Amino acid sequence: MPELPEVESTVRYLRERVEGLLITDASIGWARTIHTHTPKQFSQLLHRRTIQEVFRRGKFVAMRLSSPGPAFLLIHLRMSGALDVVSSSAAASSHDRVVIYLEGGKTLRFNDTRKFGRMYLCEDLHEVVGNLGVEPLDDAFEPGTLREIFVSRKGAVKPLLLNQNIIAGLGNIYVDEVLWKASIHPLTPACSVPLNKLGILHRAIKETLTEAIALAGTDFGDGVVYGGMYQPLVYGRDGTPCNRCSTTIKKIVVGQRGTHFCPACQKKSRSKALRVR
């Protein structure tokens, strides 16, 4: 599933190509892609609207639209969704679920092999993304933020970091990456992560996401940005030597997600639970 770096890379790609353009029509090939309206309503509400701004919230691609009508179009790529801008004369794909026609002979095509992706039209962003947690690249996300999140939670650290209602945008690949960089075992209870490790984890999250965005994310697996050059250091590398200590990387299941870690570098913490002073 595309995660924050892949979605941010998609937003930057779209921003250069569709911002400021007028929508002339929309064609829906898979009705369930449209979550908030019928396909007919969706097409009518987009007609003659200008895409004023393209931005990201969590794993959502968001577009601010001109008046009148719903102010925002939000797109969640889910497992295999991808957005591309091509000429209206380009050959259609059997997996094109929504095609938005733009002025100048362009089309914005939502290709989604598995049909899990969704589009939303809404007047207020909070209708769709109001429950999302803090953005990990925002200034508001500080080392103290992690302490506040972790201090009272006894559950394993990996599922906590995957919870979009707590931190928005992190997914399976990058959570494995940042836990490896911070030398934290994915099953460590969140409240038992040593305080000094929280600062390391905070820095690992910021640095990893920033690096991955600069490299357009990863093309590892299904549904990510084609041509992404970020190479995971631990995710997907089970059975190979750890880049830090040469111990064989292992794969386990944590919260129903395949999880990669180094058993030597990432030992479970035995420290006492965090305490608020």
Which entry of 3, 6, 8, 177 is annotated as an active-site residue?
3
- Is residue 189 annotated as a catalytic residue, yes or no? no
DSSP states along 219-244: --SSSS-TT-B---SSTT-TTSB-TT
Q: What is the DSSP letter of 188?
A: S
- 245 and 265 in contact (C-beta within 8 Å)? yes
Which entry of 56, 59, 106, 109 is annotated as an active-site residue?
59
Which entry of 15, 250, 257, 263 is annotated as an active-site residue?
257
Distance from C-alpha of 117 to C-alpha of 197, rounded to nearest angstrom: 36
| Ramachandran class of 193: left when φ > 0, alpha when ψ lies in -120 to 50, beta otherwise | beta
Other Cβ atoms closer than 10 A to 252: 13
- Is residue 59 annotated as a catalytic residue, yes or no? yes
Secondary structure of residue 114 in the 3-state scheme: coil
DSSP bridge pairs for 249: none
Other Cβ atoms closer than 10 A to 78: 17
* Contacts of residue 77, Cβ cutoff 8 Å, sequence gap at least 6: 1, 2, 6, 7, 10, 59, 61, 83, 112, 117, 223
Both structure tokens of 54: 């393209």
- Is residue 3 annotated as a catalytic residue, yes or no? yes
- Is residue 17 annotated as a catalytic residue, yes or no? no
Residues labelled catalytic: 2-3, 59, 257
